[in-house]
Structure 1
Amino acid sequence: MKRGIILMNLGSPDSPEVSDVKRYLREFLMDGRVIDVPFLIRNFLVKGIIIPARVKNSAEAYKSIWTKDGSPLVHLTKQLQEQVQNEFEELVEIAMRYGNPTPNDAYKKLLQKVPGLDEVILLPLYPHYAMSSYETAVEYMKEVHKKNKYSFKLTTIQPYYNNEEYINALAESIRPYIDKQYDHLLFSYHGIPERHIHKSDVTQSHCLSSDACCEIDSPAHEFCYRHQVRQTTKLVTEKLNLPANKYSISFQSRLNQKWLKPFTDVRFQEMPKEGVKKLLVVCPAFVSDCLETLEEIAERGKKEFLHAGGESYEMIPCLNVHPLWVKAIVKLIESQELEVGSQASELSSTN
């Protein structure tokens, strides 16, 4: 089979200028899986209230992290593409859910370079399932694929929050930092509204029914973001042999009180009063450093923690192009190829 590979990330404005940030925010916030209210209400909220109120501050935030190579997220994803490409004969392209390069761009490049393409393997660079990240990325790729009536098959790699290679890569990226003196390691995951958890609950009754629901076996866990981030944390801390009192989970980037708790920004205020003076923070929901890690956590979070009485603070970089992360991606893709090949072989033998 003639295959191609697409790595898909969140995306970024083309520049930190207000006009580009405004365009990016409009595409991002008008996504019905991000702000899941009826279109007319969403259109009024986004274009009439949210963007006018936020665009200048957002542009300033992007300017604070912009580099000579442009957007850190896009640049790091391109570097990851190069590293993964070194491991495959199949062509590797990248796509962004919002901004550039688009899914159309990625599909067209593959078709131009691989005539007679049979299959595209899509790896969303989101370890955990959530409506506003993994799901919207996959569904958008499917929509573009269907709209253009491509003849090749689109195969998607499932969330890998508990994949052994991913867990090992994340744990080893953290290990050098916990060899230093520290009081606490905070796993700060991107926040989502509680209603997204309920919407993704296939049982319609399990999720958020109690604080312990994530530890009780349920079909809901296949699509439950809170369960999956807890599992990632559990597996990583077990590999690192961290005692329970040395780490905790929080959720960042929240918009209101009805989002998953505890909130990262609130914990930054509370922890120094609880005796945590030396803090490490890791953001496993992101595999590439971006606005939410570099500006919100590394810059703003540090100021908040130190102002509240903390003494030292360090954000552990995302996986970015860590060799073990590249290895994990290779294994995920190879496993998918083997699975598809095995299914084709079984079908052939049946016929």
Structure 2
Amino acid sequence: MSKKGILLVNLGTPDSPETADVKKYLDQFLMDERVIDIPKLNRILLIKGIIVPFRSPKTAKLYKEIWNENGSPLLYYSRLQAKMLQERLGDDYHVELAMRYQNPSIESALANLKAGRVDSIQVIPLFPQYASASTGSVLQLVMKLVSKWHTIPPISFVNSFHDNELMIKIFAENARKHNPESYDHVLFSFHGLPERQIDKGDYFGKNYNFRDISQREVLNDDNKFCYLAQSYDTARLIAKELNLSKENYTVCFQSRLGKEPWVQPYTTDVLKKLAAEGKKRLLVFSPAFVADCLETLYEITVEYHEEFRALGGEHVQLVESLNDSPVFIEALAGMVK
């Protein structure tokens, strides 16, 4: 019986919240040439000599805060998504889950698809907006591994799904559970990237200036592959679904690493600005993630909430991610079909 192979890939998670496992995860993640895109020797000295030894114990403490009876929330929900998609697609398909970093590995998932005698493979990186450090890294590794096979089956890739109609509806529906009208302002807080990576990702040349926020706000032929432009488009579509005016929401970026400039505005700066304006209650989306994880469950729910309260605010409420939503499984099935 012929089958079509589906490979879902999310970012990754440590095998446990213990320092040794967090160290292995950070080492593999940050040594990726697409994540820290500097010369290899400099990257080795920076990552293995400074960042990983110093950050691992601190990051392990944060993972312990979100670890629960199901283990890593990111892995738990990713496994559920793969299981639900398999059930939705039926026996004509073989669905495998992989993590770009740590386990289950892309290499092992591809081996399982090969052993399952699939006729083709479709790779769906679980990142709504394309970025070299996420989707690009997944696609590069898949192509590298498959290039070693003597016989390569038909392979296709989903580049991004930032404007997927069902995904937009789920985020909006999750927000409605919190009565958006009861909040003073809405944030769309996306994962940040170094400015140099956006510069390097200018696929069509210098027709697009990402530093000009007005140029990010309208997706067009010059910026259609840009992470920032896709992020703004996702935010615009969710805001439209919720009937939010531009004055009532802000797009911002979190999770900086190091001192070099990352894309702005930074979420922490927006929190300060809104607190100074007297805003008390904030509703926060994180639409770069399809499953709740450290960046949502701790960085937003705990760190930003505490930071905003210290500035005079009252509450920061996270809008839950797509997690085990059956509608998101329909969205994935639509990408497959």
TM-score between both structures, scaled by the size of structure 1: 0.90
* Residue of structure 1 aligned with 2:306, choices 303, 307, 317: 303
| In 1: Cα distance, 2:211 partner to 2:273 partner | 26
Alignment: residue pair count: 332
Q: Which residue of 2 aligns with 1:224?
A: 226
Spell out the pairing of 1:84-103 with structure 2 (5 A cutoff): 84-89=85-90, 90-103=93-106
* Residue of structure 2 aligned with 1:331, choices 317, 329, 334: 334
Q: Which residue of 1 aligns with 2:293?
A: 290
The structural deviation recorded for 1:217 is 6.2
Question: Does the 8 Å contact 1:7/1:125 carry over to 2?
Answer: yes
Question: Does the 8 Å contact 2:184/2:282 carry over to 1?
Answer: yes
Tell me the C-alpha RMSD between the 2 structures: 1.6
Q: Which residue of 1 aligns with 2:213?
A: 211
Question: Does the 8 Å contact 1:202/1:219 carry over to 2?
Answer: no
Structure 1 residue 5 corresponds to structure 2 residue 23:
no
Structure 1 residue 244 corresponds to structure 2 residue 246:
yes
Once the two structures are superposed, what CA deviation does each residue of 1:180-202 show, in whole Å capped at 9, x if it has no partner? 61111110000001111111102
SS at 1:223 equivalent: coil
| In 2: Cα distance, 1:262 partner to 1:187 partner | 11
Distance 1:269 1:214, change over 3 A: closer
- Note the residue ranges of structure 1 that are not aligned, 5 or more in a row: 335-351
Structure 1 residue 153 corresponds to structure 2 residue 154:
yes
Question: Does the 8 Å contact 1:157/1:333 carry over to 2?
Answer: no
| In 1: Cα distance, 2:140 partner to 2:222 partner | 20
The structural deviation recorded for 1:122 is 1.0
Question: Does the 8 Å contact 1:173/1:322 carry over to 2?
Answer: no
| In 2: Cα distance, 1:204 partner to 1:125 partner | 27
Which range moved further: 157-166 or 27-36?
157-166
The structural deviation recorded for 1:142 is 1.4
Distance 1:45 1:327, change over 3 A: same
Distance 1:287 1:216, change over 3 A: closer
| In 2: Cα distance, 1:178 partner to 1:230 partner | 23
Q: Which residue of 2 aligns with 1:318?
A: 321
Match of 2:210, as an amino acid? Answer: L
The structural deviation recorded for 1:179 is 4.5
Spell out the pairing of 1:62-81 with structure 2 (5 A cutoff): 62-81=63-82
Question: Does the 8 Å contact 1:277/1:309 carry over to 2?
Answer: yes
The structural deviation recorded for 1:96 is 0.5
Question: Does the 8 Å contact 1:161/1:228 carry over to 2?
Answer: yes
Runs of 4+ more than 3 Å apart? 215-220
Question: Does the 8 Å contact 2:191/2:253 carry over to 1?
Answer: yes
Distance 1:229 1:23, change over 3 A: same
The structural deviation recorded for 1:71 is 0.9
Question: Does the 8 Å contact 1:169/1:319 carry over to 2?
Answer: yes
Q: Which residue of 2 aligns with 1:123?
A: 124
The structural deviation recorded for 1:133 is 1.0
Q: Percent identity?
A: 39
| In 2: Cα distance, 1:152 partner to 1:330 partner | 21
Match of 1:273, as an amino acid? Answer: A
Match of 1:233, as an amino acid? Answer: A
The structural deviation recorded for 1:222 is 2.9
Match of 1:55, as an amino acid? Answer: S
Q: Which residue of 1 aligns with 2:282?
A: 279
Spell out the pairing of 1:137-152 with structure 2 (5 A cutoff): 137-152=138-153
Distance 1:269 1:210, change over 3 A: closer
SS at 2:188 equivalent: strand
- Note the residue ranges of structure 2 that are not aligned, 5 or more in a row: none
The structure with the largest helix share of the pair is 1
Distance 1:217 1:56, change over 3 A: closer
Once the two structures are superposed, what CA deviation does each residue of 1:14-48 show, in whole Å capped at 9, x if it has no partner? 01111111111110000000000010010000001
| In 2: Cα distance, 1:217 partner to 1:136 partner | 23
| In 1: Cα distance, 2:20 partner to 2:234 partner | 38
The structural deviation recorded for 1:165 is 2.3
Question: Does the 8 Å contact 1:207/1:220 carry over to 2?
Answer: no
Question: Does the 8 Å contact 1:201/1:207 carry over to 2?
Answer: no
| In 2: Cα distance, 1:215 partner to 1:265 partner | 21
Distance 1:168 1:137, change over 3 A: same
Match of 1:58, as an amino acid? Answer: T
| In 2: Cα distance, 1:243 partner to 1:137 partner | 36
| In 2: Cα distance, 1:151 partner to 1:55 partner | 39
Match of 1:178, as an amino acid? Answer: N
| In 2: Cα distance, 1:146 partner to 1:40 partner | 26
The structural deviation recorded for 1:2 is 2.7
Which range moved further: 146-155 or 37-46?
146-155
